[in-house]
Amino acid sequence: MGQATLTRRISQYLKHDIPVAIGTRAIKNIAFAMSLLTCLCASSVSLFSFFSTSLHETYKISYLDVNLIASCSSIGLYLFLPILGYLGDCYGPSLLALISGFLFVPSYLVNANIVSHLNYSDAQRSHIYWFGLSFFFIGLATSSLYFSCLLTCAKIYPERKGLAISLPVTCYGMSSLIGSQVLKLSSFNPNGVLDIKKAFIFFSILYSFVCLLNFVSCYVVTFDYHILMNDHSHVAQTDDEERSLLNPEDSNEFGAASSFYDEETLSLVPQRSEIEPLNHKQRYVNFLKDHSTWLLMISLILNIGPLESFQNNIGPILTVSRQAHKSSSLSDQISVWAAASTASRILVGWLSDFMSSSQRKHPICRVHLLSLSVFMGIIGVSIILLRSISFSFTSALVGSSYGALFTVYPTIVASVWGVDIMGSTWGTFMVAPALGSISYSILFGHTVDSGHSSGSLSDAYFYFVCVSLFASVILVVASWRIFWFKRGLAIF
């Protein structure tokens, strides 16, 4: 009875006393800031190159086994996102926060324990399997942590989808830059080589606090979602936007006829509800049946795939393009790529809200911004073929395109199918980057190996990438003009 009374008091305090004391808007801002802070620590899995160097040089684990471990982390990172997203929509992002906490801390402690039992040059197969299993869970924890933050930010500010999505995406991208600088500290490199045991223990301690912080911010959305909706000015604005999509006759700028609507179309239109969205299962089924879903999925494979492959193969591309001169060092190009990608995420997030705002006299659909982002990538890849222009322009343009697409795509998904089921929908789309990256990386490797760095064969690959990027634009525009127009989504 005492425990039940304590629970009711905590619930009363969270639901009523805090909002009265500091205000609903302050709660939203605090939860949003906590989610962004969490994202700044979320991407430790992207630091695997630091771990792999130490595993190979210190413990003589072969590169094949190191890549096996890396593949396990990729499987956990990408392939379970549809399930995690669906769970996040059904039970709220705090469930994902709990999953990340229960996986991150034990996994890094297991890794530290494995390292403490390793003898130099004496790694056994059992060690490799345990490393693979723990990094699989680290990848899964990373997806859970990142997705919980993304859903929290998107649901706190549904009326500002562009910035609400781009900010956590940007912070997640910055986390790898921050982590790389932390691991360069002398305390982690006593002999010039990373002490991975110290690194694993550090991350286990870090994530015990980060996941607790993230759970608190997600708890605001999960446990008391209606508090966030008590800001009547924001609700009214968002409801007006949704009514204009449901009833195009009420707004000339969304000029689609109401006669286009049928039961299935209405079930795809964004709706708002409590933690579990209204008709969640049926809407997700209709999302999977929607032809525009698969056109957008293919477009994501065709543009994110080659751009992510470019990121993974900047060194070989420098070589085969015959631009590996002093001004195009690998470290410089990676820095240019990372800076351009990070800057474009936040800039495009702001632009998408500004350009598509119904308050503007002539609003512009986000599809135009997505097309512009892809064309930046096309120009960047085309520069490789010109040879005479500095490779830094290629890195900047392709990096900007990559970062912008990872901001615009989830914003479009949230606008077309709704923020309330964004976990399910965007989680499904996140399978595409894995498929695209693997496919284009294999194609690039096969092309270069077959031609022994022949310029003509590598040029054929880059021409193919340009065609692929252009085809992705056609698919997105076709989805917009053929399908989304019928739902009143002329401007979003």
Tell whether 215 and 326 lie within a shared domain.
Answer: no
Low-confidence ranges of the chain (pLDDT < 50): 1, 229-261, 263-274, 324-326, 453
Tell whether 41 and 187 lie within a shared domain.
Answer: yes
Contact 236, 251 (CB under 8 A): no
Residues whose CB falls within 8 Å of the CB of residue 316, separated by 6 or more in sequence, listed in order: 444, 448
Between CA 482 and CA 41, with CA 410 as vertex, the angle to 5 degrees is 170
Q: What does the block give as tokens for 290?
A: 């929607």
Tell whether 284 and 199 lie within a shared domain.
Answer: no
State how far Cα 73 lies from the chain centre.
16
Closest to 490 measured CA to CA, from 238, 245, 239 = 245
For every residue of 258-270, DSSP letters joined together read GGG--HHHHTTS-
Compute the radius of gyration of the chain from its Cα atoms.
Answer: 24
Q: What does the block give as tokens for 195?
A: 């002490």
> What does pLDDT average to over the chain?
78
Phi, psi angles (nearest 5°) of residue 60: 55, 30
* pLDDT score recorded for residue 209: 92
Q: Residue 391: inside a domain, yes or no?
A: yes
Q: Residue 41: inside a domain, yes or no?
A: yes
* pLDDT score recorded for residue 294: 95
Q: Residue 243: inside a domain, yes or no?
A: no
Q: What does the block give as tokens for 248?
A: 């195009």
* pLDDT score recorded for residue 238: 44
Tell whether 47 and 166 lie within a shared domain.
Answer: yes
Q: Residue 17: inside a domain, yes or no?
A: yes
Q: What does the block give as tokens for 12?
A: 């009363």
State how far Cα 249 lies from the chain centre.
36
Tens digits of per-residue pLDDT, 363-392? 889 999 999 999 999 999 998 887 767 888
Q: Residue 268: inside a domain, yes or no?
A: no
Please give the DSSP secondary-structure letter assigned to residue 269.
Answer: S
CA distance 358 to 237: 10
Please give the DSSP secondary-structure letter assigned to residue 358.
Answer: T
Tell whether 222 and 292 lie within a shared domain.
Answer: no
Q: How many helices (H) and strands (E) does the chain have?
A: 22, 0
What's the number of domains the chain is made of? 2
Between CA 472 and CA 477, with CA 474 as vertex, the angle to 5 degrees is 110
**Residue pointed to by tokens 């997505």:** 370
Tell whether 115 and 177 lie within a shared domain.
Answer: yes
Tell whether 220 and 289 lie within a shared domain.
Answer: no
Closest to 151 measured CA to CA, from 203, 100, 104 = 100
Q: What does the block give as tokens for 118?
A: 């390793």
Closest to 299 measured CA to CA, from 402, 487, 432 = 432
**Residue pointed to by tokens 């299935």:** 264
Tell whether 217 and 328 lie within a shared domain.
Answer: no
Tell whether 224 and 286 lie within a shared domain.
Answer: no
Tens digits of per-residue pLDDT, 70-79? 778 878 887 8
CA distance 394 to 372: 16
- Report the CATH number that the domain containing residue 444 is assigned in CATH: 1.20.1250.20
For every residue of 118-154, DSSP letters joined together read PPTT---HHHHHHHHHHHHHHHHHHHHHHHHHHHHHH
Q: What does the block give as tokens for 398?
A: 């392709």
Please give the DSSP secondary-structure letter assigned to residue 420.
Answer: G
Tell whether 340 and 215 lie within a shared domain.
Answer: no
Helix/strand/coil percent split, the chain, to 5: 85, 0, 15
Last residue of one domain, picked from the residues 209, 228, 247? 228
* pLDDT score recorded for residue 233: 43
Tell whether 63 and 160 lie within a shared domain.
Answer: yes
Q: Which domain holds residue 404?
A: 280-487
Helices of type H across 60-92 = 63-78, 81-91
Q: Residue 405: inside a domain, yes or no?
A: yes
pTM confidence score: 0.68
Tell whether 204 and 337 lie within a shared domain.
Answer: no
Contact 138, 76 (CB under 8 A): yes
**Residue pointed to by tokens 């549904």:** 158
Q: Residue 338: inside a domain, yes or no?
A: yes
CA distance 118 to 124: 9
Residues whose CB falls within 8 Å of the CB of residue 85, separated by 6 or more in sequence, listed in order: 147, 151, 422, 423, 424, 425, 426, 427, 428, 430
Q: Residue 233: inside a domain, yes or no?
A: no
User: Within 10 Å of residue 77's Cβ, how many Cβ atoms?
Assistant: 23
* pLDDT score recorded for residue 15: 54
CA distance 165 to 148: 12
CA distance 268 to 151: 19
* pLDDT score recorded for residue 246: 34
